[in-house]
Amino acid sequence: MKKILAFFPILLFFACSESTTEPLVNNDPIDFFPNQDANFYNYNVSLFDTNGIILQTGTRKSIYNGDTILYGRSFQVKSDVFELTILQTENNSYFRKHTSGVNNGITLDSIGSYYVLPDSLRHNFSLALEYPFLNDSLEINQTWHVFEIWADIPQFEIFNVDAEVISLDTLTISFQNTTRSAEVFKIRYDARFTTGFSQSPKLFEVNAWIAKGIGFIKWEGDAKLINFFAGAEIYPINTIVLEELESYKVN
């Protein structure tokens, strides 16, 4: 797997070293990740402190907005607008759908975990250029490795993310003044973050619920890990994020 290093000349070398014309995959609307351009998702967002006290509320609006080339491959662009009580920002992230699932693309300005690295490690790490965010075929107890960041000297794992499908649930979705029940898979993403060779890792968890023919309808968990998937420092650290689908359009 190609990797990116925190050293810009090497970054450019890897970015130009391979080229492929592998097309974007657009599956029909019965899959778990409909990805046609102009699909949009509006989420209600709540932020809580670690004691469960609500801190902010607002919305997240996501739309699939064309495509771009990263490292010689085509990635779709996901544009997000976050509007909370004291937080307003916009962000683009990148994903690539293929026969085995969905990969998120990595650039140096879209590493959602980069900001939590201590200064001593910000020029001493390596990571993959993309990671498997979602598998194509989901089933209970399915697991996969998502992502890792390694310190180079001395070598140790800084950041590691794994995923597991833990249940098949039924959730109620409110849409256009009506409600409907949807069968959803619940995916748990677990992360370990270590800042030193001899230190014990800090643990983070996010749960995501995904429905066939719709996509992700709910996210809940630690802000650090949700920021990682968003590809930017969006939500304040030491908060718990709840995103619930309010409306959507799938073409």
65 near 94, Cβ under 8 Å? Answer: no
Which residues touch 137 (CB under 8 Å, ≥6 apart)?
none
Per-residue pLDDT, 241: 98
**Looking at the 3D structure of the chain, how many domains does it have?**
1
Per-residue pLDDT, 117: 67
Per-residue pLDDT, 35: 94
Other CB atoms within a 10 A radius of the CB of residue 11 amount to 16
250 near 204, Cβ under 8 Å? Answer: no
33 near 97, Cβ under 8 Å? Answer: yes
- Residue 243 φ/ψ, nearest 5 degrees: -120, 125
Per-residue pLDDT, 198: 73
Per-residue pLDDT, 232: 86
Q: Which residues of the chain have pLDDT under 50?
A: 1-30
Per-residue pLDDT, 37: 96
Tell me: the pLDDT tens digits for 223-248? 999 999 998 889 998 999 999 999 99
CA-nearest of 175, 135, 179, 132 to 31 is 135
- Residue 9 φ/ψ, nearest 5 degrees: -60, -35
Q: Are strands 240-249 and 156-175 parallel, antiparallel or unpaired?
A: unpaired
Tell me: the pLDDT tens digits for 103-149? 999 876 655 555 556 667 767 777 788 999 999 889 999 999 999 88
- Residue 42 φ/ψ, nearest 5 degrees: -110, 125
Q: What is the DSSP string of 173-239?
A: EEETTEEEEEEEEEEEEEEEE-SSTTSPPEEEEEEEEEETTTEEEEEEEEHHHHHHHHTS--SPTT-
Per-residue pLDDT, 16: 33
Per-residue pLDDT, 127: 78
Q: Which domain holds residue 196?
A: 3-249
Cα–chain center distance at 135: 13
93 near 74, Cβ under 8 Å? Answer: no
Which residues touch 212 (CB under 8 Å, ≥6 apart)?
30, 31, 32, 183
Exposure class string for 28-39: b at 16+ Cβ within 10 A, else e: eeebbbbbeeeb
Q: What is the pTM of this model?
A: 0.84
User: What CATH number is associated with residue 143?
Assistant: 2.40.360
Per-residue pLDDT, 29: 36
